[in-house]
């Protein structure tokens, strides 16, 4: 009873009213009334006051259909969805049979995975094969690239032919136009050469230098060495 003597009867009544009537903590009640937390806790324990439990609702387990009670707040947060841990584990292991959108192979997927995308795939290779061209979400009708039609195929041919930089022999190289594409729009393999980034930058710098001097364009008559015409 010592803790109750440290506060007035009016404050004791306010503690009871706030603790039962409003869902606030003991610390919040102590700060509002200017008391310590130990005094508020002493009043509650001495009088044997208990907060009424939140009202539960009846729900049905989506796995087994059993009826059980759960707190509305936990249901809102996605908890207490199943009646037991066994039902929760069974739901996680549940699979639905679907068909691969690319090859048509029958596969089993989780229900959550099926709801994420409109199409399902058996492997990553099938996924990449499907999302090319009109099937891709960013497809805007296609058309030629800035290097013209068939540029990707021509690059593969030149890389297979030269394999390395034709100046320094570096293994990592890019395809370079001997005569600039902006002049001739020529993507033939004879007008292309494989150069590393360093040699590619030097060749482009030589071309720009000759343009500024109005001496024409540097032409690579043979693959390997640059000459100034």
Residues 178 and 209 both lie in one domain? yes
pLDDT digits (tens, 9 = 90+) for 2-43: 444 567 888 888 888 887 776 677 888 888 888 888 888 888
Residues 202 and 180 both lie in one domain? yes
Contact at 8 Å (CB) between 107 and 97?
yes
Q: Whole-angstrom Cα distance, residue 54 to residue 77?
A: 16
Whole-number percent of the chain with pLDDT over 70: 82
Q: Is residue 10 part of a domain?
A: yes
Task: Give the contacts of 14 (CB within 8 A, at least 6 positions apart).
Answer: 33
Q: Is residue 32 part of a domain?
A: yes
DSSP state of 191: G
Residues 43 and 87 both lie in one domain? no
Task: Give the contacts of 214 (CB within 8 A, at least 6 positions apart).
Answer: none
Q: Whole-angstrom Cα distance, residue 120 to residue 111?
A: 12
Q: Is residue 105 part of a domain?
A: yes
Residue of 201, 205, 210, 203 whose CA lies nearest to 229: 210
Residues 202 and 181 both lie in one domain? yes
What number is the average pLDDT over the span 204-208?
Answer: 84
* The two structure tokens encoding residue 69: 């009670």
pLDDT digits (tens, 9 = 90+) for 160-196: 898 898 888 888 888 988 888 878 888 888 889 999 9
Q: Whole-angstrom Cα distance, residue 226 to residue 229?
A: 10
CA distances from 31 to 4, 10, 20, 23, 208 (A): 17, 16, 17, 15, 77
Residues 85 and 106 both lie in one domain? no
What number is the average pLDDT over the span 142-170?
Answer: 80
Residues 62 and 9 both lie in one domain? no
Q: Is residue 218 part of a domain?
A: no
Answer yes or no: pTM beyond 0.85. Answer: no
Q: Is residue 185 part of a domain?
A: yes
DSSP state of 190: G
Q: Whole-angstrom Cα distance, residue 138 to residue 76?
A: 36
Structural domains counted in the chain: 4
Q: Supply the pLDDT for residue 143.
A: 55
C-beta neighbour count of 139 within 10 angstroms: 11
User: Position of tokens 């192979």?
Assistant: 105
Q: Is residue 141 part of a domain?
A: no
Residues 14 and 43 both lie in one domain? yes
* The two structure tokens encoding residue 107: 């596969």
User: Position of tokens 């009202």?
Assistant: 55
Q: Is residue 138 part of a domain?
A: no
Question: What is the span of the domain harbouring residue 126?
Answer: 98-133
Residue of 33, 38, 37 whose CA lies nearest to 12: 33
């Amino acid at each position: 009873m010592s803790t109750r003597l440290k506060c007035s009867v009016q404050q004791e009544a306010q503690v009871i009213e706030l603790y039962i009537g409003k869902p606030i903590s003991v610390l919040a009640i102590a700060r509002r009334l200017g008391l310590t937390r130990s005094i508020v806790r002493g009043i509650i324990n001495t009088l044997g006051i208990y907060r009424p439990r939140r009202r539960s609702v009846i729900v049905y387990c989506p796995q087994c259909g059993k009826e059980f009670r759960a707190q509305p707040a936990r249901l809102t947060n996605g908890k207490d969805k199943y009646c037991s841990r066994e039902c929760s584990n069974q739901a996680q292991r549940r699979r639905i049979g679907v068909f691969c959108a690319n090859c048509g192979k029958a596969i089993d997927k989780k229900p959550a995975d099926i709801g994420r995308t409109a199409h399902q795939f058996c492997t990553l290779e099938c996924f990449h094969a499907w999302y090319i061209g009109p099937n891709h979400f960013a497809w805007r009708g296609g058309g030629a690239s800035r290097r013209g039609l068939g540029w990707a195929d021509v690059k593969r041919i030149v890389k297979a032919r030269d394999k390395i930089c034709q100046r320094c022999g570096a293994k990592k190289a890019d395809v370079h136009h001997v005569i600039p594409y902006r002049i001739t729009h020529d993507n033939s393999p004879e007008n292309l050469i494989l150069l590393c980034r360093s040699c590619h930058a030097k060749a482009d710098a030589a071309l720009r230098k000759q343009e500024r001097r109005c001496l024409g364009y540097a032409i690579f008559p043979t693959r390997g060495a640059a000459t100034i015409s």
